[in-house]
Structure 1
Amino acid sequence: MKKLVASINHRSERFQTSISYIIILVLAISSVCIVCDLFNLRDEVGRHNNKVPLDLDHVHEILLSSGSEETRERQDNCRLWDCVNLYRCGQMGHDRLTVYVYPLQEYIDETSRKTISILTREYYQILEAVVSSRYYTPNPNEACLFLPSIDTLNGNLVEPSAVERALAMQNHWDNGENHIIFNMIPRVDLSVLKTDRAIVLGGGFDSWSYRTGFDLAIPIFSPSQQKVADLSAKSTHLPRKNILVIVLPNVYQKYHRNLQILVDDNPNDVLIVDKCIAQETEFSKDTIRCNNSRGKSFEYPRVYEKGTFCLYSHSGNVEKSDLIEILAYNCIPLIGVDNFVLPFEDVLDWSLFSIRIREAEIHSIVKKLRKVSHTKIFELQRQGRWVYNRYFKNLNAITLTALEILENRIFPHRARSIMDWNKPDDNYRSTFNPLFLPVISPKAQGFTAVILTYDRVESLFTLIQKLAMVPSLQSILVIWNNQNKMPPHLSAFPTISKPLKVIQTRANKLSNRFYPYNEIETEAILTIDDDINMLTTDELDFGYEVWREFPDRIVGFPSRIHVWDNVSMHWRYESEWTNQISMVLTGAAFHHKFWSHMYTYAMPGDIKDWVDQHMNCEDIAMNFLVANITNKPPIKVTPRKKFKCPECTNTEMLSADLNHMRERSACIDRFASIYGRVPLRSVEFRADPVLFRDNFPEKLKRFNDVGNL
């Protein structure tokens, strides 16, 4: 009996063990199936997310009910921080703007069976530009912004209530939060499309309807722009036959009388065209404009290439796109609209390629336009050509520019500066520092002082002794520019604790001061004349500290300005003290060694040879070079004015020559003709120590010995 019980117990244990194994096996199989389902689901999501939304062959139809569940509004007080969920941006490690485009869908009114929004070619091009760009993401969970596939470009071609219902049906609408709407042409009846919290990218904004920092003003694109060939090759960037061209159909009727008086007073300067009195075909009504008083006809919008300036004014036609057409034909826009928000004006400086006037000034504008110099016209036309080709040329450029501006708002640390937005591509290397340098250069390297000298030994020795006391000085390099006389022996030079070397040049050239000598081991170079011995140790040390924060600029002490002379119609080099500067003289200035290489090996035209032949303007040439590449002004340091010392005023000084100033003015004209522009930038800025002239004990100040006025 005991054996039977033991056998039964043994079998029971074996049965329980088998049951346990079976349960474990079933659980394992179930887990594998669940994992497989998860992987299948993930693959399905991945396949869905990777699907390009512009599939014209599989467009789903969606019925819109006639009723509306809730009343839609446009929130007029929206700002970026309260109508956009910024926490959606920058997810999954994306330190950039990401945009999700809804798949194409066809919305049909349930009662009328009419398609609510027909996808136009222009809107399809916008969607295609976004999908093909670096901003696009196929995963809505990673998106910062959402772009509906509902065509709202032309507000006059859509039914507002139906479009608003269609927008509300978007999967991620959430009262329009984080959505962008392209509404290029507003409605004629002034009814506003109720878009909740969506960002509106629209044309025709005025200061009353524009939500600053939230909405974005974009240009109204014209299909005729595609017919405009690249005019940059044949455009001369010079004044044309007519000072002003006015197209009357694009101007409010109330201005016609004043404009006609303007033409009567200036018949040879103003070309005014209107709708032709005798229309032959329906086609010519849109493509031909006539000067009915003279019986001449012109192709529209090509008539804009007849004028130096073209008027852009109020019009009853909200669909007009003549502002961009004016730029397309390289005419300078004369903007006579008081409350108009210009396209991309958040980042574009329209004053660089247009002239803006008040509406009340239109009647007297010709007198003012005659005073605009040829050089100014050249600069306006050149900048306008570049801006049009870069930002307005086609819908792809307009779309990508709009997205980059939105990215700048959401990720301000990645934003380009206004100066970078407006600088031509001639030397466009990067949206950041052109030298690819850190913001502040390493302090440990210090600077190398390069002294250009000829024969003034006494002042040279005095300067060397003062430079040796500057803490940030690394070494001194003396450039002996006299071939007829040997430099003093090194034993005759002052005994200093810093390395010193003397190089005798083969020819007496001013450009020798900018040669990238192998002896220069630092990034920072202080070019200084041998007679500039009035600068103090603190001033030089502070100048180096300022250069460390602006390593791509010329940072120095004596400054000058260039001004336009309306009498002589030439540029004038001005040494009088004003509140503006555009040049820092390299007789006492810091610059990066990179600029020495550029000056020696990449100076445009024959500037370098001309400077060496005429022994003048090497500092102006260096300022032109740096400004042309960076489009940035120099930095003036400390308020010191006097740089001529009594013992240096002798007849051997170059500045004693009466023709010196005339030659320097001529240099600006000459260099401008070689560069094709004047890259110098004026600035009202000077760097002083933080506690300069503050009523604090000197022990709290670092730079005490900084000269006053």
Structure 2
Amino acid sequence: MSTLIAIRETSLSGKGGDYSPAKEKAANRGVYGGRLPLLRRLRLFIGGAKYKLLLLFCLLTSLCLLSSKISSFMGWNPHYPSSVSSPSRGGYTVLINTWKRNSLLKQSVAHYASCPGTDAIHVVWSENDPPSYKLRDYLKKVVLKKSQTAHKPNFRFDLNKEDNLNNRFKPIEDLRTDAIFSVDDDVIIPCRTLDFAFTVWQTAPLTMVGFVPRMHWLNEEKNGVVRYRYGGWWSVWWAGTYSMVLSKAAFFHKKYLELYTYKMPSSIQDYVSRKRNCEDIAMSLLVANATGAPPIWVKGKIYEIGSSGISSLNGHSDKRNKCLDDFVSLYGTMPLVSTNMKAEDARHAWFW
């Protein structure tokens, strides 16, 4: 009897000695084994690597799908099939609109010539008399003197025979950049802020990127007729949304100059010419209709060095309301898209 018991204990322990269920469980886990823990760790590592590779593959696939969705979302409207080339990498062209304010023009040209991203400066001149040779020579010397780069910006006056706000969006030949920075002669954007806005535009070269946001509001709907109201800065501040950035300080693609002049309904150009107002609203509607996307507001410092302008005249808001309504009726739809997103350089913000 004792012999049988001894044999049974030996077979249960596997190596002789006392049998213990805890020892057997630990052996199966690899506690008592010599090579088993290393092999098990290797299997676990390989299994973990597979899961990591699978997770990385899923993440890359999602990013690819997201980028394709964004590309299609930012595509051209079928009404405007023109293609847009890749975003500018070398800089931007500053397009300054001026009107009988040579002192402000001199300050503006001198400032933008000092910005490292400026590739060229074009002055939209719509006065009856062309700029004097003295003014031309002075500004050319200023550009050469103020430029901080080895590559000096090209400087040129774009002369027009008539006073017309549509002149600021005429196509320009021989441009070396895709990016246009449209600005009034009395608006100064610090170079660092301007260059940051340019990098924002490069991420979305089909949309407008600017510093002066505005909003449209549904005013009333009566008998099937929808009326809209133009909202100024205080409307944007109160509601926290916007749907336009004004061309008095904004980046857009050079192709929009061609679209504004040749593809946009000519009745809108006629309207701007007669009313001497709202060319900036017309450009915002054009870009929104072409992309189906909102603009991008860049939060940054902006200095207005002038003391007068169209916006200071009586009845300006009522005229803007009328422009917006009339333009939307010509489009047959409201193309503007509202957003509450804004771009800000985190390096210079108070909070991240």
Task: Please indicate, yes or no, whether the TM-score normalized by the shorter chain is above 0.5.
Answer: yes
**Alignment of 1:596 onto 2:243:** no
Preserved CA contact (<8 Å) 1:605 1:674: no
For 2:334, the equivalent position in structure 1 comes to 678
**Alignment of 1:649 onto 2:307:** yes
The CA deviation at 1:412 is 2.0
For 2:299, the equivalent position in structure 1 comes to 638
For 2:155, the equivalent position in structure 1 comes to 500
Distance of 2:118 and 2:66 partners within structure 1: 34
Larger Rg: 1
Q: Which amino acid aligns with 1:427?
A: H
Q: Which amino acid aligns with 1:574?
A: G
Q: 2:170 aligns with which of 490, 500, 515?
A: 515
Q: Which amino acid aligns with 1:594?
A: K
Q: CA RMSD in A?
A: 3.2
Secondary structure at the residue paired with 1:496?
A: helix
Q: Cα 1:415–1:428, aligned 2, differ >3 Å: closer, same or farther?
A: farther
Preserved CA contact (<8 Å) 1:558 1:643: no
Q: 1:610 aligns with which of 271, 284, 288?
A: 271
Q: Cα 1:689–1:479, aligned 2, differ >3 Å: closer, same or farther?
A: same
Secondary structure at the residue paired with 1:427?
A: coil
Q: Deviations over 1:474-512 (max 9, x none)?
A: 011111111146445322225223221113211111111
The CA deviation at 1:521 is 2.4
Preserved CA contact (<8 Å) 2:88 2:177: no
Secondary structure at the residue paired with 1:551?
A: coil
Q: Deviations over 1:375-405 (max 9, x none)?
A: xxxxxxxxxxxxxxxxxxxxxxxxxxxxxxx
Distance of 1:588 and 1:411 partners within structure 2: 33
Distance of 1:539 and 1:454 partners within structure 2: 25
The CA deviation at 1:442 is 3.9
Preserved CA contact (<8 Å) 1:435 1:552: no
For 1:420, the equivalent position in structure 2 comes to 73
**Alignment of 1:549 onto 2:206:** no
Structure 1 residue runs of 5 or longer lacking an equivalent are 1-81, 90-407, 697-709
Preserved CA contact (<8 Å) 2:99 2:125: yes
Specify which structure has the bigger relative contact order, considering alpha-carbon pairs within 8 angstroms and separated by 6 or more residues: 2
Distance of 1:418 and 1:457 partners within structure 2: 43
The CA deviation at 1:522 is 1.3
Q: How does 1:470-509 map to 2 (within 5 A)?
A: 470-484=115-129, 486-487=131-132, 489=134, 490-493=136-139, 494-497=141-144, 498-509=153-164
Q: 2:321 aligns with which of 639, 644, 665?
A: 665
Distance of 2:76 and 2:174 partners within structure 1: 35
The CA deviation at 1:520 is 2.6
Distance of 1:478 and 1:425 partners within structure 2: 30
For 1:570, the equivalent position in structure 2 comes to 227
The CA deviation at 1:695 is 7.7
Preserved CA contact (<8 Å) 2:268 2:282: yes
Distance of 2:76 and 2:253 partners within structure 1: 23
Distance of 1:486 and 1:418 partners within structure 2: 44
Distance of 2:112 and 2:330 partners within structure 1: 37
Distance of 2:204 and 2:96 partners within structure 1: 22
Distance of 2:107 and 2:66 partners within structure 1: 47
TM-score (norm 2): 0.71
The CA deviation at 1:602 is 0.3
Secondary structure at the residue paired with 2:256?
A: helix
Distance of 2:118 and 2:216 partners within structure 1: 32
Preserved CA contact (<8 Å) 1:450 1:525: yes
Distance of 2:324 and 2:76 partners within structure 1: 20
The CA deviation at 1:567 is 8.6
Q: Cα 1:455–1:413, aligned 2, differ >3 Å: closer, same or farther?
A: same
Q: Which amino acid aligns with 1:420?
A: F
Q: 1:558 aligns with which of 192, 196, 212?
A: 212
Q: Cα 1:491–1:659, aligned 2, differ >3 Å: closer, same or farther?
A: same
Q: How does 1:456-467 map to 2 (within 5 A)?
A: 456-467=101-112
Q: How does 1:177-576 map to 2 (within 5 A)?
A: 412=65, 415-417=68-70, 420=73, 426-427=78-79, 435-438=83-86, 441-444=87-90, 446-484=91-129, 486-487=131-132, 489=134, 490-493=136-139, 494-497=141-144, 498-533=153-188, 535-566=189-220, 570-575=227-232, 576=234
Q: Which amino acid aligns with 1:502?
A: F
| Number of matched pairs | 281
Q: Which amino acid aligns with 1:692?
A: H
For 1:620, the equivalent position in structure 2 comes to 281
Preserved CA contact (<8 Å) 1:419 1:631: no
Distance of 2:119 and 2:283 partners within structure 1: 23
Q: Cα 1:511–1:425, aligned 2, differ >3 Å: closer, same or farther?
A: closer
Preserved CA contact (<8 Å) 2:193 2:300: no
Q: Which amino acid aligns with 1:573?
A: Y
Preserved CA contact (<8 Å) 2:113 2:143: yes
Preserved CA contact (<8 Å) 2:183 2:250: yes
Distance of 2:64 and 2:221 partners within structure 1: 48
The CA deviation at 1:690 is 2.9
Q: Deviations over 1:541-576 (max 9, x none)?
A: 111111111110111111100111239962111102
Q: Cα 1:680–1:502, aligned 2, differ >3 Å: closer, same or farther?
A: same
Distance of 2:124 and 2:174 partners within structure 1: 11
| Identity level (%) | 30
The CA deviation at 1:583 is 0.5
Preserved CA contact (<8 Å) 1:480 1:487: no
TM-score (norm 1): 0.37
Preserved CA contact (<8 Å) 2:77 2:290: no
Between Structure 1 and Structure 2, the one with more helix by share is 2
The CA deviation at 1:626 is 0.7
